[in-house]
Structure 1
Amino acid sequence: MSKIRITKEFSFEMAHALRNYDGPCRNIHGHSYKLFVTIIGEPKQDDADPKNGMLMDFGALKKLVNTEIVDKYDHSVVVYKNDERLPEMQKLFENIIIEAKQPTCENLVSDFASTINTRLPDNLSVFSIKLYETATSYAEWYASDNPTE
């Protein structure tokens, strides 16, 4: 059986601030993120299965990523747990997500891969995740680069 990859694209709006950053991104600012999730596995080969020939129904992948990532992060302010400005931000904003790591594109893409991988059926896995922070800047995560995750 052949290994196949499928990809689904998502978008969401999110703000963040980078603690101790030496540039303008230390301030709260927002991005229009584009997220590409690629999974890999073998398509089902069972004539009795309504998903015969599919790796995963795109609708099921959409539901999983929307539930675990998009619905959570969309229109949120994401802040590092050690940011000394956090108490003040919590007074000003309702939808704050406190992250264990600096909320960079690189850290987010790694966390997203881990989250999605734990929710996939056993026969499937994340092949790659690409997260665009701007139209010309993105971070990528590949399973082949992270064999222990």
Structure 2
Amino acid sequence: MSNIRITKQFSFETGHALYGYDGKCKNVHGHSYKLSVTVIGKPITNRNDVKFGMVIDFSDLKKIVKEEIVDQFDHATVFNETTPHVELAQELKNRGHHVILVNYQPTSENMVVDFAERIISRLPAGITLFSLKLQETESSFAEWFASDNL
């Protein structure tokens, strides 16, 4: 049986700021992110399996990505916990805002690596994360490929 890639797309709104950056992105701002998740595997060949012919049920992939990324990052503000932004984060938390502190500069490049690790940890046996594409704007995105990270 051939390996097949399947892709599911997700959208979420997230704010962030890049501490120490020399451009406008040093200010708190947000993006309408689009995340494309591509996994690879062999379709199920057992005719008695309710998921016969599927690599992974799209709803199962959706559950993983929703729980690990969308539900956590949607309408949150992300700050690097190792910068003075931690003070701003605490003030926002005190005012009831959803804030995520990460141990990296919250660029699309670093976020896509974080997302890959989260998704990989939840995939069932026989299914491999092939790639992620995190689109920050209409013309700007970061990509992660398993083949680049062997």
TM-score calculated relative to the size of structure 2: 0.96
Matches within 5 A, 1:66-81: 66-81=66-81
Q: Distance in 1 between matches of 2:104 and 2:89?
A: 17
Equivalent in 123, 126, 145 of residue 123 of structure 1: 126
Superposed displacement of residue 125, structure 1: 0.8
- Deviant stretches of 4+, over 3 Å: none
Report the equivalent of 1:33. 33
Among 94, 98, 107, which residue is 1:104 paired with? 107
1:139 is aligned to 2:142? yes
Counterpart of 2:60 in structure 1: which amino acid?
A
Q: By how many angstroms is 1:86 displaced?
A: 1.7
Give a deviation string over 1:48-69, Cα, whole Å, max 9, x none. 1000000000011111100110
Matches within 5 A, 1:82-97: 82-93=82-93, 94-97=97-100
For residue 149 of structure 2, what is the amino acid of its counterpart? N
What is the distance in 2 between the residues matched to 1:53 and 1:47? 8
The 1-side partners of 2:38 and 2:89 are apart by: 34
Deviations 1:71-112 (A, max 9, x none): 000000000011203213321242110001100000000111
2-side partners of 1:61 and 1:107: how far apart? Answer: 22
Cα distance in 2 between the residues matched to 1:98 and 1:120: 25
- Note the residue ranges of structure 1 that are not aligned, 5 or more in a row: none
